[in-house]
Amino acid sequence: MYLKSAAIAAMAFGTETIPKADKIFGPGNQWVTAAKQLVNADGIAIDMPAGPSEVLVIADDSANPKFVAADLLSQAEHGPDSQVVLITTSEVLIDAVTNEIENFTKQLSRKEIIEKSLLNSVIILVNDLEEAIAISNNYAPEHLILSVDNSEAIAEKIINAGSVFLGNYSPESAGDYASGTNHTLPTNGFASAYSGVSLDSFMKKITFQKLSKDGLSKLGKTIQTMAEEEGLDAHKLAVSIRTENSNG
């Protein structure tokens, strides 16, 4: 973990052999995330806070408990600080998923990590899917799996999530390895403010503007009034010297 944090510092500030980066991308554990946030405070651009990993599954009676259990475990095995959440309208499903988690965990190589991660995790029984959606949007999960009937209709109500997986045959693992989306995603609730990495993340935009004399005259009073309100006389002057000078 210290080597990863040192790598962030090396990319942020440069070394004899590593050039200084303009922006640092990529997920990591809590140490990597902390290192990225520290260098960001020093003026180095980052994609987003990304890590530790988390998943939230919304499930109804149509969900397969084995699938749900496997999805929860696939995130729990990332590390002891990972968090997995199940929100469901079905009390029967809770019992079934809990049993499957216990059965699967015994077979998995990262059993000790999973058991620690599950201590951070929770299952929530709700009255209906509207309540589940409200909790999910407030939590803003990194990964959201919709194991429900009419998953596409439910997806239209999701406003905060890093990446959403629709239906019983869209495991988060597919997003990690093969379904095509970038999988550097915001965690710890940052999905309410950040998007996942995409091509747009690598773009830097510059705006340009050109005003004609007539165009500036039409905007002039607005600009001068706002400048006056802020007490910025030179801002006002930069406009008035142009609009009031007929020879300009």
Annotated active-site residue 91? The verdict is no
Give the C-alpha distances (Å, rounded to integers) separating 42 from 26, 35, 36, 47: 18, 11, 10, 15
Select which of 77, 100, 142, 172 is catalytic. 142
Distance CA 151, CA 167 (A): 6
Residue written as tokens 């510059």?
206
Angle at 239 between CA 233 and CA 243, to 5 degrees: 135
Q: Quick check: 84 and 54 in contact, CB under 8 A?
A: yes
Whole-angstrom distance, CA of residue 93 vs CA of residue 175: 25
Instruction: Answer yes or no: 235 catalytic.
Output: no
Which of these is catalytic: 100, 143, 172, 183?
A: 143
Catalytic residues: 142-143
